[in-house]
């Protein structure tokens, strides 16, 4: 008890906080989805603040290219499971809380089961499919979702699906963006990202979680905060008090057909597949494994190039952009077989 008193005293003495709020944090069950640029700082602050049960969900491994913003990981951990390293570090940071590792990808099959055991979810993911999946699942399960997203120098934060006093729910992600064409929005790997924006936005997400359970301050419910690290300007856009969406079933995201690097290596000389590099020109010129070059945002304009009678294998650096390319191309040419090179050129080079 003395330990608790010392550890949390500086937040307990805050105006509108107190032991009661600390107890609420201790009883809270919070799931962080994505142990990346946003998830690392968010989880660190939530652990430090004494969230009683903190779940971390991620299926990926530590990658050197992300170390600049994924601050729970070190170079000697490259290749290890992110969720294991993160949970180890968080346990050291606060041994008094329960840390739960979910070494898996959240899919429409498991989302309700996993999210269902938590009081609140943080969207710290890096792709639209999972963002919509978390959003729709939280709406169906009536759980608040603390959203964060970053690009270059900019970030967005909001708290979706909070219960209003009259029983209605505050707006969710689909009130703002009903649908997204992922091939037209560059990721951090393509557009770049300043590491500190991940820290700023991840901390803002943790901030909203603490406020939610401590019942302190005004949540970003019905509002979305935009922050620009270049100008240091922030603005809050009012969305409304009640959601206008009517989500009755979880979205069933497209399941991307994969080909592994090993399988592709065996076929590379046989001319069985049409290879298509969907990275940008600089990446393509620096290194490629042959085939056509069609940057991701141009895939939907090139149906004739893709329709050669051969199955198509899209590839990129990590397998993320090629998975989006498969989705886009399949809509254009339902009769053609499309595959994504699993884990991209990273896996190819390793094999």
Partner 1 sequence: MKIKILAFGIAKEILGGSSLKMDIAGDAITAAGLKSLLEENYPRLKQLSSFMLAVNNGYAEGNETITQTDEIAVIPPVSGG
Query: Is 203 marked active-site?
Result: no
293: buried, middle or exposed (CB in 10 Å: 19+, 13-18, 0-12)?
middle
How does DSSP assign 202-256, residue by residue? HHHHHHHHHHHHHT-S---BTEEEEEETTTTEEEEEE--SS------S-------
Instruction: Choose, by CB under 8 A, the member of 13, 104, 236, 349 that binds partner 1.
Output: 236
Candidate segments 178-186, 250-258, 279-287, 341-349, binder of partner 1 by CB under 8 A: 178-186
Give catalytic status of residue 188 as yes or no: yes
- Say which of 87, 124, 138, 316 is annotated catalytic: 316
Under rule CB under 8 A, residue 195 binds partner 1: no
Residue 178 binding partner 1, by CB under 8 A: yes
Q: Please tell me the count of residues contacting partner 1 according to CB under 8 A.
A: 45
C-beta closer to partner 1: residue 226 or 333: 226
Q: Which residue has the tokens 């269902």?
A: 116
Considering only 48, 78, 141, 151, the residue that binds partner 1 (CB under 8 A) is 151
Among residues 18, 186, 257, 291, which is the contact residue for partner 1, using CB under 8 A?
A: 186
Out of 29, 284, 300, 336, point to the residue binding partner 1 (CB under 8 A).
300
198 lines the binding site for partner 1 (CB under 8 A): yes
Question: Judged by CB, which is closer to partner 1: 1, or 179?
Answer: 179
Q: Among the candidate windows 5-13, 173-181, 277-285, 334-342, which touches partner 1 by CB under 8 A?
A: 173-181
Residue selected from 150, 276, 296, 326 as contacting partner 1 according to rule CB under 8 A = 150
Q: How far apart are CA 230 and CA 193, in angstroms?
A: 12
Nearest alpha carbon to residue 202 among 63, 86, 321, 75:
86
Choice between 12 and 283, CB closer to partner 1: 283
Q: Is 149 in the site for partner 1 (CB under 8 A)?
A: yes
Q: Which of 28, 30, 38, 274 binds partner 1 (CB under 8 A)?
A: 38
Q: Scanning the structure block, which residue is given the tokens 């009130």?
A: 175
Q: How far is CA 115 from the centre of its chain?
A: 15
- Could you tell me which of 260, 316, 326, 321 has the C-alpha nearest to residue 288? 316
Residues in a beta bridge with 224:
158, 237
Gap between the Cα atoms of 234 and 252, Å rounded: 35
Q: What is the dihedral of CA 140, 146, 149, 153, to 10 degrees?
A: 160
**Stretch 80-119 residues interacting with partner 1 (CB under 8 A):** none
Q: Which residues in 53-62 are b (16+ Cβ under 10 Å) and which e?
A: bbbbbbebbb
**In the complex, which residues of this chain contact partner 1 (CB under 8 A)?**
34, 36-39, 124-128, 131, 148-152, 154-156, 175-182, 184-188, 191, 193, 198, 224, 226, 228, 235-240, 300
Active site residues: 188, 316
């Amino acid at each position: 008890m003395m330990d608790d008193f010392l550890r949390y005293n500086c937040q307990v003495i805050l105006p509108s906080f107190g032991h009661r709020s600390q107890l609420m944090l201790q009883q809270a069950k919070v799931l962080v989805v994505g142990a990346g640029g946003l998830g690392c700082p968010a989880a660190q602050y939530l652990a430090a603040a004494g969230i009683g049960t903190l779940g971390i969900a991620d299926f990926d491994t530590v990658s050197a290219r992300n170390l600049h913003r994924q601050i729970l990981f070190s170079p000697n951990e490259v290749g290890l499971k992110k969720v294991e390293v993160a949970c180890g570090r968080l346990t050291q940071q606060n041994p008094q809380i329960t840390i739960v590792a979910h070494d898996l990808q959240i899919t429409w099959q498991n989302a309700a089961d996993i999210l269902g055991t938590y009081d609140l979810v943080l969207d710290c993911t890096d792709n639209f499919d999972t963002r919509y999946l978390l959003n729709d699942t939280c709406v169906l399960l009536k759980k608040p979702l603390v959203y964060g997203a970053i690009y270059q120098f900019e970030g967005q934060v909001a708290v979706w699906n909070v219960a209003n006093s009259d029983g209605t729910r505050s707006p969710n992600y689909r009130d703002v963006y009903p649908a997204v064409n992922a091939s037209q929005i560059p990721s951090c790997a393509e557009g770049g990202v300043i590491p500190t924006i991940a820290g700023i936005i991840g901390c803002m997400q943790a901030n909203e979680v603490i406020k939610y359970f401590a019942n302190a301050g005004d949540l970003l419910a019905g509002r979305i905060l935009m922050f620009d690290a270049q100008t240091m300007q922030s603005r809050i856009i009012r969305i409304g008090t009640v959601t206008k969406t009517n989500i009755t079933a979880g979205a069933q995201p497209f399941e991307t057909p994969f080909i592994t690097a090993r399988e592709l290596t065996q076929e590379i000389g046989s001319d069985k597949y049409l290879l298509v590099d969907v990275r940008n020109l600089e990446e393509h010129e620096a290194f490629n494994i042959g085939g056509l070059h069609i940057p991701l945002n141009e895939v939907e304009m090139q149906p004739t190039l893709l329709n050669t009678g051969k199955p198509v294998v899209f590839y990129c650096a990590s397998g993320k952009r090629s998975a989006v390319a498969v989705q886009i191309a399949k809509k254009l040419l339902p009769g053609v077989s499309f595959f994504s090179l699993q884990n991209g050129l990273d896996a190819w080079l390793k094999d």
